[in-house]
C-alpha cells in the first residue's frame, strides 16, 4: 500500500480543500466514467496519487446540502492488492494514508451483478456510508433480468439506485441518495458473520491491525468494521507481494493464519472468497429473477465472427492496419500544418525583432521548442480517439485476446500490442497508450521496449544513408533493390530487438510473479462520443502540460548547446573571401560561391559550439563504430528528434540546409574522407549507422513522456542506458565484424 500512515487527515476531508470526499468505486467496464461525468457535469481534473502514477480524477459534486468532492477510483474487481491501482483503491476506501471517505458511490453493472457485488459488499463491510448504483439497467431488462431493488437495498443496508447512465436516467435519484447517505454518516450494521473458523482468522489478524495501524478517527463501530476489512485484505493480499508499508507483525500474523489453516487442510484464500460469493448468491437468489430460457447474448454471437479462428485474424489485421494507417498517414496533413504554422510564427516574430541573441533564442529555442511539442498532438489525439473507441466498444479486449499468444511468448501482455504497433509511427503516443494495460509491471515493460520499434522519424535517416551508399547497387537475386532489403532488415532488427529486450527485462529488472492475462471480455457497447472526446482531450492536455514543458526546456538547452559559444574567428577569416565573392560578375557563380561560404561558416560555427566540441571529443569513442566527429555532432543534434540528424549532418558537412533527398548531402557523404584519407561512408559505415539509429534512444521527447508516464526519472534513465549500450554494442559488432570479413 502506498502513502504515509503516521498522521491520517480527519475523516472525509481532502487535504487542501475542506470538501468531504465521496469515492466512486466500481469494476472496469461498469460505466464509471459515464456516471462520473453525469454526476459532476465534467470530466474533472486529473492529478496523481501522492508518489505514484495512478491517475486521480476528481470534481466538485454539488448537492442541495452542500458541495462535496467526487473522486473516481481506478476500476477494480476487488479490494485485494495485486497492482498499484488496487492498492490505491484499498487505501482510499480504508482511508489509509489518504483521507477516509465520508461516503462511497458503488457502481455495479446489472448484467454482471454477482461480480459487481463482490466488490460492493467488500466496500460496504468497511462500514462506510454508501449508495449502490446499478448501471446498464436497460441491457439487463433487455436480457429479461428482473431485480427487486427494494429487497436488495434492505439486504445490503444501503440505498440502491437503478440507472441507465448513458441516457442520464437515475441521476437525480442518485444525487438525493448520496445526500441521504452523507446525512446518516455510518449507522449501517456490521457485516454478516462468516463460518466460525474464518471469523477466528479475521479476529486474530484484526487484533494485530488494532495494535499496529493508526485509527482513522471514526466512530468505534466504523473503526471495528474497518479493522475487520483490513484483516480480510491482509489475509488475501499479503504473502508473495511487494506491498511495502506493512509492519512485520502483521505479515507474521497473516502467514501464521495461513499455516494454521493449511495444517487443518483448509485453503484460506478459497474459503474467504467463496464465503463472500456464497453470501452474494444467497442474496441474489432472493432478489434477482433470471429469464427462463436465456438466449445467447448478442456479444457472444458477434464474437463468433470477430474472434473466429480465421475471420478473427482478418478483422484483427484490418482494424490494426486502420489504426496504423491513421497514425502514419492521416496525421500527416495536421503535422504539416503545424510545421508550416511554426514557420509563419517564426517569420512574423523574426520580422518584428532586431537580429541578435534574444531573437535567436526566441525563434530557434522557444518557438521551435513549442513546435516540437505540439507537433505530437495530431498523432496523440488520433491514437487516443482510436484507443478509446476500441476500449469503450469492447474490441480492445478482443485485440488482446487474439494476439496474446504472440505477446505472451516474450512476457508481454496482450494489451501491449496496440502500443507496440503505434510505436512504428511514433513512440510518444505509443508510450501514452500503455495506460490501457492495468498492471504496472506489464505497463512499464511495454513502455521500456516501445522506443525500440522503428518510428517514422528514423525513416529519413535510413533514406539518407541508403541513398548515399546503396543507390544503384546490384539487385539481390536480380529482383530486389539492395537498398530495399537493407531497409527491411532495419525494421526486422527493430522487432527482434524489442522482443528480445522484453524477454530480458522481464527476467531481470521487471522480474515478478508469472505474468498472466485474466481479462474480462466485456459485452460490445456503442462508444459515447462525449467520453471519447473527454478522454482524448485529457491525454492531449496532460501531454502538453507535463511532457510538453520538459520537451520545451530540453529543446532550448539543446539549441543553446549547438549555438554557443559563438565562433568569432571564422567570420573574420571568411570576410575577405566574401568580399571577393561579392565582386564576381556572373550572378550564378556569385550566388554559388556565397552560399558555399555560408555553409562553411555555419559548419565552423557548429563545430565551435559546445555540441560540436562534444561531438569532436567523443570521436575516439565512436570511431570503432565507423563514425567520425561530424556524425558524432549529428547524433547529438538528433537527440532533439531523430530526423534532425539529417539537417545537422547537412551543416556539419558544410552543405547548408539539407533533407534526406538532397543530392548535395548525399554527394558530400559519398566523398567524405576520414582524417587518414580513407572514405568515410562505406556501405559498412552506413549499416553500422542505421543499426545505431534503430537501437539508440535518440529522442528527448520519448524520455520526457516516459518520465511522465512512469512517474520518475529512474525508468527513462534505465531505458536510455540500456538502449544506448545496445546501440553502441550492436554498431560496434557490425563495423568491427564487417571489417574482419574485409567488407569495410
Partner 1 sequence: MPTPPNGSQDPTTLASLANGERAAILSVDCARPVAVRLLEMGLVPGTEIEVLRRAPLGDPIELSVRGFSLTVRKADAVSVSVARRAPGARR
The C-alpha cell 564487417 sits at 738
Q: Check binding of 521 to partner 1 (CB under 8 A).
A: yes
Of 400, 22, 1, the residue nearest 179 (C-alpha): 22
The C-alpha cell 498492471 sits at 439
- For strands 66-72 and 21-26, give the pairing: parallel
Nearest-approach distance from CB 77 to partner 1, in angstroms: 6
- Contacting partner 1 (CB under 8 A), which of 7, 310, 569, 583? 310
Residue 627 and residue 735: Cα distance in Å, rounded? 10
Residue 703 and residue 680: Cα distance in Å, rounded? 31
Considering the complex, state which of residue 237 and residue 570 has its C-beta at the smaller distance from partner 1. 237
Burial of 292 (C-beta count, 10 Å sphere; 0-12/13-18/19+): exposed
Burial of 724 (C-beta count, 10 Å sphere; 0-12/13-18/19+): middle
Nearest-approach distance from CB 279 to partner 1, in angstroms: 12
Nearest-approach distance from CB 292 to partner 1, in angstroms: 13
Q: Which DSSP state fits 261?
A: H
Considering the complex, state which of residue 114 and residue 184 has its C-beta at the smaller distance from partner 1. 114
Range list of H helices, 307-453: 311-325, 331-352, 357-360, 368-374, 377-393, 395-408, 417-423, 427-433, 440-449
Q: Check binding of 273 to partner 1 (CB under 8 A).
A: yes
Question: Reduced to 3 states, what is the DSSP secondary structure of residue 13?
Answer: strand
Considering the complex, state which of residue 308 and residue 475 has its C-beta at the smaller distance from partner 1. 308
Classify each residue of 88-124 as buried b or exposed e, where b means 16 or more C-beta atoms within 10 Å of its C-beta: bbbbbbbbbbbbbbbbbbbbbbbbbbebbbbbbbbbb
Q: Which DSSP state fits 327?
A: I
Q: Which 102-131 residues touch partner 1, going by CB under 8 A?
A: 111-115, 118
Question: Reduced to 3 states, what is the DSSP secondary structure of residue 361?
Answer: helix
Considering the complex, state which of residue 138 and residue 481 has its C-beta at the smaller distance from partner 1. 138
**Part of the chain binding partner 1 (CB under 8 A), chosen from 74-82, 156-164, 212-220, 531-539:** 74-82
C-beta separation of 72 from 36 below 8 A: yes
Nearest-approach distance from CB 255 to partner 1, in angstroms: 12
Nearest-approach distance from CB 118 to partner 1, in angstroms: 6
Q: Check binding of 57 to partner 1 (CB under 8 A).
A: no
Nearest-approach distance from CB 79 to partner 1, in angstroms: 10
Residue 713 and residue 550: Cα distance in Å, rounded? 12
Q: Check binding of 274 to partner 1 (CB under 8 A).
A: yes
C-beta separation of 557 from 637 below 8 A: no
Q: Check binding of 320 to partner 1 (CB under 8 A).
A: no
Considering the complex, state which of residue 391 and residue 563 has its C-beta at the smaller distance from partner 1. 391
Q: Check binding of 265 to partner 1 (CB under 8 A).
A: no
**Part of the chain binding partner 1 (CB under 8 A), chosen from 15-23, 173-181, 366-374, 511-519:** 511-519
Of 471, 423, 429, 479, the residue nearest 451 (C-alpha): 423
Q: Check binding of 522 to partner 1 (CB under 8 A).
A: yes
Q: Which 633-692 residues touch partner 1, going by CB under 8 A?
A: none
Q: Which DSSP state fits 522?
A: P
Nearest-approach distance from CB 291 to partner 1, in angstroms: 12
Q: Check binding of 28 to partner 1 (CB under 8 A).
A: no
- Contacting partner 1 (CB under 8 A), which of 32, 57, 82, 257? 82
Question: Reduced to 3 states, what is the DSSP secondary structure of residue 295?
Answer: coil
Q: Let me know how long the chain is.
A: 744
Size of the site for partner 1 (CB under 8 A): 50
C-beta separation of 728 from 692 below 8 A: yes
Of 684, 682, 700, the residue nearest 692 (C-alpha): 684
Of 675, 620, 667, 629, the residue nearest 648 (C-alpha): 629
Q: Which 218-237 residues touch partner 1, going by CB under 8 A?
A: 236-237
Q: Which 169-198 residues touch partner 1, going by CB under 8 A?
A: none
Nearest-approach distance from CB 518 to partner 1, in angstroms: 5
Nearest-approach distance from CB 269 to partner 1, in angstroms: 5
Residue 648 and residue 595: Cα distance in Å, rounded? 17
Considering the complex, state which of residue 9 and residue 408 has its C-beta at the smaller distance from partner 1. 408
Give how far Cα 184 sits from Cα of 52, 99, 179, Å.
33, 19, 9
Q: Check binding of 303 to partner 1 (CB under 8 A).
A: yes
**Part of the chain binding partner 1 (CB under 8 A), chosen from 247-255, 273-281, 615-623, 644-652:** 273-281
Q: Which DSSP state fits 565?
A: S
Alpha-carbon Rg for the chain in angstroms: 31
> CB neighbours of 12 closer than 8 A, spacing ≥ 6?
20, 21, 99, 100, 101, 102, 103
Residue 108 and residue 116: Cα distance in Å, rounded? 5
Considering the complex, state which of residue 80 and residue 662 has its C-beta at the smaller distance from partner 1. 80
Q: Check binding of 256 to partner 1 (CB under 8 A).
A: no
Nearest-approach distance from CB 119 to partner 1, in angstroms: 9
Nearest-approach distance from CB 278 to partner 1, in angstroms: 8
Cis peptide bond prior to 565, omega within 30° of 0:
yes
- Contacting partner 1 (CB under 8 A), which of 138, 223, 256, 269? 269
C-beta separation of 695 from 452 below 8 A: yes
- Contacting partner 1 (CB under 8 A), which of 203, 353, 406, 621? 406
Q: Which 407-436 residues touch partner 1, going by CB under 8 A?
A: 408, 414
- Contacting partner 1 (CB under 8 A), which of 307, 416, 604, 730? 307
**Part of the chain binding partner 1 (CB under 8 A), chosen from 4-12, 123-131, 308-316, 565-573:** 308-316
Take residue 484 and report the three cell numbers written for it. 530495399
Considering the complex, state which of residue 52 and residue 521 has its C-beta at the smaller distance from partner 1. 521
- Contacting partner 1 (CB under 8 A), which of 36, 49, 77, 629? 77
Taking the CB of residue 32, how many other CB atoms lie within 10 A of it?
24
- Contacting partner 1 (CB under 8 A), which of 312, 350, 500, 679? 312
- Contacting partner 1 (CB under 8 A), which of 91, 159, 404, 660? 404
Considering the complex, state which of residue 118 and residue 692 has its C-beta at the smaller distance from partner 1. 118
Nearest-approach distance from CB 237 to partner 1, in angstroms: 8
Q: Which 338-377 residues touch partner 1, going by CB under 8 A?
A: none
Q: Is the Cα torsion angle 244, 249, 254, 256 positive or negative in sign?
A: positive
- Contacting partner 1 (CB under 8 A), which of 267, 301, 507, 714? 267
> Angle at CA 40, nearest 5°, toward 34 and 45?
90
Of 157, 149, 160, the residue nearest 287 (C-alpha): 149
Nearest-approach distance from CB 141 to partner 1, in angstroms: 15
Considering the complex, state which of residue 299 and residue 393 has its C-beta at the smaller distance from partner 1. 299
Q: How far apart, in Å, do the first and last CA atoms of the chain sit?
A: 57
- Contacting partner 1 (CB under 8 A), which of 240, 579, 585, 586? 240
C-beta separation of 467 from 666 below 8 A: yes
Residue 692 and residue 462: Cα distance in Å, rounded? 11
Nearest-approach distance from CB 296 to partner 1, in angstroms: 10
Nearest-approach distance from CB 408 to partner 1, in angstroms: 6
- For strands 66-72 and 146-147, give the pairing: unpaired
Nearest-approach distance from CB 499 to partner 1, in angstroms: 16
Annotate each residue in 282-301 with x if it binds partner 1 (CB under 8 A) or - if it does not, as one string: -----------------xx-
Nearest-approach distance from CB 448 to partner 1, in angstroms: 22
Nearest-approach distance from CB 519 to partner 1, in angstroms: 5
| Contact positions vs partner 1 (CB under 8 A) | 77-78, 80, 82, 111-115, 118, 236-237, 239-241, 267, 269-270, 273-274, 277, 299-300, 303, 307-310, 312-313, 316, 397, 400-406, 408, 414, 513-514, 516-522
Amino acid at each position: 500500500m502506498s502513502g504515509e500512515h503516521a498522521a491520517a487527515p480527519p475523516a472525509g476531508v481532502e487535504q487542501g480543500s475542506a470538501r468531504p470526499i465521496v469515492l466512486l468505486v466500481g469494476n472496469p467496464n461498469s460505466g464509471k466514467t459515464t456516471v462520473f461525468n453525469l454526476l459532476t457535469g465534467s470530466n474533472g481534473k486529473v492529478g496523481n496519487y501522492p508518489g505514484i502514477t495512478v491517475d486521480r480524477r476528481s470534481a466538485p459534486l454539488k448537492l442541495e446540502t452542500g458541495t462535496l468532492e467526487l473522486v473516481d477510483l481506478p476500476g477494480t474487481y476487488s479490494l485485494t492488492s495485486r497492482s498499484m491501482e488496487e492498492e490505491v483503491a484499498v487505501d482510499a476506501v480504508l482511508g489509509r494514508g489518504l483521507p477516509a471517505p465520508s461516503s462511497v458511490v458503488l457502481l455495479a453493472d446489472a448484467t454482471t451483478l454477482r461480480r459487481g457485488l463482490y466488490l460492493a459488499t467488500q466496500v460496504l463491510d468497511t462500514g462506510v456510508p454508501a449508495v449502490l448504483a446499478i448501471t446498464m439497467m436497460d441491457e439487463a431488462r433487455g436480457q429479461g433480468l428482473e431485480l427487486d431493488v427494494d429487497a436488495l437495498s434492505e439486504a445490503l443496508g444501503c440505498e440502491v439506485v437503478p440507472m441507465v447512465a448513458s441516457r442520464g436516467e437515475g441521476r437525480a435519484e442518485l444525487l438525493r441518495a448520496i445526500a441521504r447517505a452523507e446525512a446518516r454518516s455510518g449507522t449501517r450494521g456490521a457485516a454478516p458473520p462468516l463460518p466460525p473458523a474464518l471469523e477466528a482468522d479475521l479476529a486474530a489478524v484484526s487484533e494485530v491491525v488494532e495494535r499496529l495501524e493508526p485509527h482513522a478517527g471514526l466512530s468505534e463501530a466504523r473503526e471495528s468494521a474497518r479493522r475487520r476489512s483490513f484483516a480480510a485484505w491482509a489475509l488475501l493480499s499479503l504473502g508473495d507481494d511487494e506491498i511495502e508499508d506493512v509492519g512485520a507483525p502483521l505479515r507474521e500474523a497473516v502467514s501464521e493464519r495461513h499455516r494454521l489453516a493449511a495444517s487443518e487442510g483448509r485453503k484460506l484464500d478459497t474459503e474467504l472468497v467463496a464465503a463472500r460469493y456464497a453470501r452474494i448468491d444467497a442474496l441474489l437468489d432472493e432478489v434477482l429473477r433470471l429469464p427462463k430460457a436465456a438466449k445467447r447474448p448478442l456479444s457472444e454471437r458477434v464474437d463468433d465472427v470477430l474472434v473466429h479462428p480465421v475471420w478473427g485474424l482478418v478483422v484483427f489485421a484490418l482494424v490494426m492496419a486502420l489504426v496504423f494507417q491513421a497514425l502514419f498517414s492521416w496525421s500527416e496533413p495536421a503535422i504539416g500544418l503545424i510545421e508550416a504554422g511554426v514557420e509563419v510564427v517564426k517569420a512574423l516574430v523574426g520580422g518584428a525583432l532586431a537580429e541578435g541573441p534574444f531573437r535567436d533564442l526566441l525563434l530557434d529555442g522557444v518557438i521551435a521548442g513549442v513546435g516540437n511539442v505540439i507537433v505530437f498532438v495530431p498523432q496523440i489525439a488520433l491514437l487516443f480517439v482510436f484507443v478509446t473507441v476500441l476500449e469503450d466498444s469492447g474490441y480492445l479486449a478482443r485485440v488482446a485476446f487474439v494476439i496474446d499468444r504472440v505477446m505472451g511468448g516474450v512476457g508481454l501482455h496482450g494489451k501491449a500490442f496496440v502500443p507496440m504497433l503505434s510505436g512504428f509511427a511514433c513512440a510518444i503516443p505509443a508510450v501514452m497508450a500503455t495506460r490501457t494495460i492495468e498492471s504496472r509491471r506489464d505497463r512499464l515493460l511495454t513502455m521500456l521496449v516501445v522506443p525500440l520499434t522503428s518510428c517514422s522519424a528514423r525513416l529519413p535517416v535510413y533514406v539518407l544513408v541508403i541513398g548515399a551508399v546503396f543507390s544503384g547497387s546490384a539487385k539481390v537475386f536480380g529482383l530486389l533493390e539492395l537498398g530495399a532489403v537493407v531497409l527491411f532488415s532495419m525494421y526486422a532488427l527493430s522487432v527482434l530487438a524489442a522482443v528480445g529486450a522484453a524477454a530480458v527485462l522481464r527476467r531481470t529488472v521487471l522480474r515478478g510473479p508469472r505474468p498472466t492475462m485474466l481479462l474480462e471480455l466485456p459485452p460490445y457497447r456503442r462508444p459515447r462520443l462525449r467520453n471519447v472526446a473527454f478522454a482524448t482531450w485529457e491525454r492531449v492536455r496532460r501531454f502538453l502540460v507535463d511532457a510538453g514543458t520538459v520537451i520545451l526546456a530540453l529543446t532550448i538547452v539543446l539549441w543553446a548547446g549547438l549555438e554557443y559559444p559563438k565562433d568569432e574567428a571564422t567570420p573574420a577569416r571568411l570576410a575577405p573571401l566574401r568580399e571577393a565573392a561579392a565582386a564576381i560578375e556572373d550572378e550564378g557563380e556569385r550566388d554559388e560561391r556565397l552560399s558555399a561560404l555560408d555553409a562553411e561558416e555555419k559548419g565552423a560555427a557548429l563545430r565551435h559550439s559546445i555540441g560540436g566540441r562534444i561531438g569532436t571529443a567523443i570521436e575516439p569513442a565512436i570511431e570503432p563504430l565507423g563514425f567520425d566527429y561530424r556524425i558524432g555532432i549529428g547524433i547529438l543534434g538528433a537527440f532533439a528528434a531523430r530526423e534532425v540528424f539529417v539537417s545537422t549532418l547537412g551543416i556539419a558537412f558544410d552543405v547548408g540546409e539539407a533533407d534526406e533527398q538532397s543530392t548535395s548531402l548525399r554527394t558530400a557523404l559519398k566523398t567524405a574522407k576520414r582524417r587518414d584519407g580513407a572514405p568515410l561512408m562505406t556501405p559498412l559505415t552506413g549499416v553500422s549507422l542505421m543499426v545505431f539509429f534503430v537501437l539508440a534512444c535518440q529522442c528527448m521527447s520519448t524520455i520526457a513522456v516516459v518520465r511522465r508516464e512512469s512517474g520518475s526519472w529512474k525508468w527513462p534513465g534505465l531505458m536510455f542506458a540500456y538502449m544506448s549500450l545496445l546501440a553502441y554494442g550492436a554498431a560496434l559488432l557490425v563495423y568491427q565484424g564487417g571489417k574482419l570479413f574485409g567488407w569495410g
